[in-house]
C-alpha cells in the first residue's frame, strides 16, 4: 500500500500548518460564541431577577448592537 506524499514537494509544513491554524481558529470561534451566549443568558436572567435596574439594562438583545451591519 502506497501512502500519499505528505511533504507535498516541500510545502507540506506550510499546507498542513495552514489547515491546523484554520481548524484551531474555527474551534476557538465556536467556543467563544458558546461562552458569549451563556454570558448573555446569565446577564438576562440576572436582569429579570433584579427589577430595580433601568429597562435599558434589563433588556439584552443580540440584534441592534453597535457592531451589527445592515444592508
pLDDT tens-digit series, residues 58-69:
455 555 556 555
4 within domain boundaries: no
State the total domains in the chain.
Answer: 1
34 within domain boundaries: yes
Range of the domain at 35: 18-48
54 within domain boundaries: no
> In the numeric block, which cell numbers belong to residue 7?
511533504
Which of 18-22, 28-32, 42-46, 51-55 is predicted with the least confidence, judged by mean pLDDT?
51-55
Phi-psi region at 70: left, alpha or beta (left = phi > 0; alpha = psi -120 to 50): beta
37 within domain boundaries: yes
pLDDT band at 29 (very low <50, low <70, confident <90, very high): very high
2 within domain boundaries: no
Amino acid at each position: 500500500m502506497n501512502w500519499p506524499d505528505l511533504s507535498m514537494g516541500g510545502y507540506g509544513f506550510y499546507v498542513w500548518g495552514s489547515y491546523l491554524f484554520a481548524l484551531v481558529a474555527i474551534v476557538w470561534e465556536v467556543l467563544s460564541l458558546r461562552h458569549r451566549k451563556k454570558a448573555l443568558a446569565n446577564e438576562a436572567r440576572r436582569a429579570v431577577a433584579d427589577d430595580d435596574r433601568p429597562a435599558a439594562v434589563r433588556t439584552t438583545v443580540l440584534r441592534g448592537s453597535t457592531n451589527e451591519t445592515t444592508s
